[in-house]
Amino acid sequence: MTPMSFQDMYLSELSEMASVEDQMARSLGRFADKATDNDLVDLIRAHRDRTEQHRDRLADLLRAHDADADAHSDRSMAALISETGKWAETIEDGTLRDAGLIASLQRMEHYEMAVLGTLASWAEQLGHKHDATTLAAILEDDKDTDARLTDLAERTVNRAAA
């Protein structure tokens, strides 16, 4: 469907974001299984749980607008997940794989943060205060995950890989 209004574009992008969260929720467990650093495993699993909550919150927002959470499939996240899977499957050394997983997961987080920031701004502009608050909260969760990944990489994982 081609958006015919700012509201249509907002809902289309919100549906794309629901797809992003769904794809991540389905893939993060597999990446946790490939990690060797216990802190990284725990972080990825915790992020999977938060991502499942984010997916559900986005679906609730879409339902409130009588929109379908499954209307779109985000191909950008599919590509990022595919690339992360390549790191996870091809790098045999566990410490190198962990460093690659963190780098890939951060790319995924940064993509999410860019989309969420835009959506929160659009929701505000459209007068959807509840949406804007929800999207901003999800964005803060993702910023927190990104910071935790950075801390883990700098503190231990990248040193071990070097």
Count of structural domains, the chain: 1
User: Is residue 1 in a domain?
Assistant: no
pTM for this entry: 0.94
* 1: DSSP letter: -
pLDDT tens for 35-91 read 999 999 999 999 999 999 999 999 999 999 999 878 888 999 999 999 999 989 999
Contact indicator for 16, 74 with CB cutoff of 8 Å: yes
- Please give, one letter per residue, the 3-state secondary structure of 93-138: CHHHHHHHHHHHHHHHHHHHHHHHHHHHHHHHHHCCHHHHHHHHHH
User: Is residue 59 in a domain?
Assistant: yes
pLDDT of amino acid 82: 96
Confidence band, pLDDT 50/70/90 cuts, at residue 92: very high
Range of the domain at 17: 6-161
The average pLDDT across 7-31 equals: 96
User: Is residue 127 in a domain?
Assistant: yes
